[in-house]
Structure 1
Amino acid sequence: MRQIENVVRDRGSKYAVSGGPVQGRAGCAAFLTELKRQKKYAKATHNSWACILSDGGPVKDDDGETGAGAVILRMLERAELTDTIIVVTRWYGGVHLGGDRFAHVVTCVRAWLEDAATD
């Protein structure tokens, strides 16, 4: 599991991104369970995620952050990345960010993809 914390801070909200290889829907569920074993991720406002499964196609979950899963999914499609889950975590800071939240999701996914490319 590759995690990058404090990717974006905006008006009190904080963002992090995590990701790694998975196999099938069960692998996605196991990844999320493992992530949420860390108390701060379990208490996060949103853990939005997406994955393109080689044996099941695209799957995503906004976790209450409407549209975030679709943004992550589009970026995975562009990167032609399969069997890898990316989770963007947000701790809500009390101020609605409007459309800026989508830019922050993009920034997080881009940071993860760039970090993964350095291996």
Structure 2
Amino acid sequence: MLVLENIISDRGSRYAVSGGACASEAEAAAFLKELKRRKKFARATHNTWACLLGSGPLKNDDGESGAGMVILRMLERENVTNQIVVVTRWYGGKHLGGDRFRHVQEAVRQYLEAL
């Protein structure tokens, strides 16, 4: 499990990105469970994730509408399979509008570069 914390901060919201090997929906659930064992991540406002498996794509917005699709598109574009990527956001009290999608993209980009 690779975790990059405090990579983006904007108007009080903070972001982290994490990921690891994932070959099934059960492994995705296990990865999220393990990540949320860290209290900091369990208390996050959103843990948005996606993974591209041989059986097809999986994604979850976790209340951050459209963010799972942003992650999934980036994984498809880079042809990254069997890898779950989770973008975590701690809401800072101010709405970010469309900037939140830029932050999700930047978080995924930083994760892919760290692989």
TM-score (norm: length of structure 2) = 0.99
> Deviations for 1:43-64, whole angstroms, at most 9, x for unmatched residues?
000000000111x200100000
Q: Distance in 2 between matches of 1:53 and 1:25?
A: 9
- Equivalent in the alignment of 2:28: 28
Q: Distance in 2 between matches of 1:5 and 1:40?
A: 10
Q: Distance in 2 between matches of 1:38 and 1:69?
A: 21
Q: Distance in 1 between matches of 2:72 and 2:22?
A: 15
5+ residue gaps, structure 2, are: none
* 1:68-83 pair list within 5 angstroms: 68-83=67-82
- Equivalent in the alignment of 1:12: 12
* 1:30-69 pair list within 5 angstroms: 30-54=30-54, 56-69=55-68
- Equivalent in the alignment of 2:83: 84
Q: Which runs of 4+ in 1 moved over 4 A?
A: none
Q: Partner amino acid for 2:20?
A: G
Shift of 1:37: 0.3
Shift of 1:22: 1.0
**Secondary structure at the counterpart of residue 47 of structure 1:** strand
TM-score (norm: length of structure 1) = 0.96
5+ residue gaps, structure 1, are: none
**Secondary structure at the counterpart of residue 87 of structure 1:** strand
> Deviations for 1:31-85, whole angstroms, at most 9, x for unmatched residues?
000000000000000000000111x200100000000000000000011011100
Shift of 1:28: 0.3
**Secondary structure at the counterpart of residue 72 of structure 1:** helix
Q: Distance in 2 between matches of 1:10 and 1:35?
A: 23
**Secondary structure at the counterpart of residue 63 of structure 2:** coil
Q: Distance in 2 between matches of 1:82 and 1:23?
A: 9
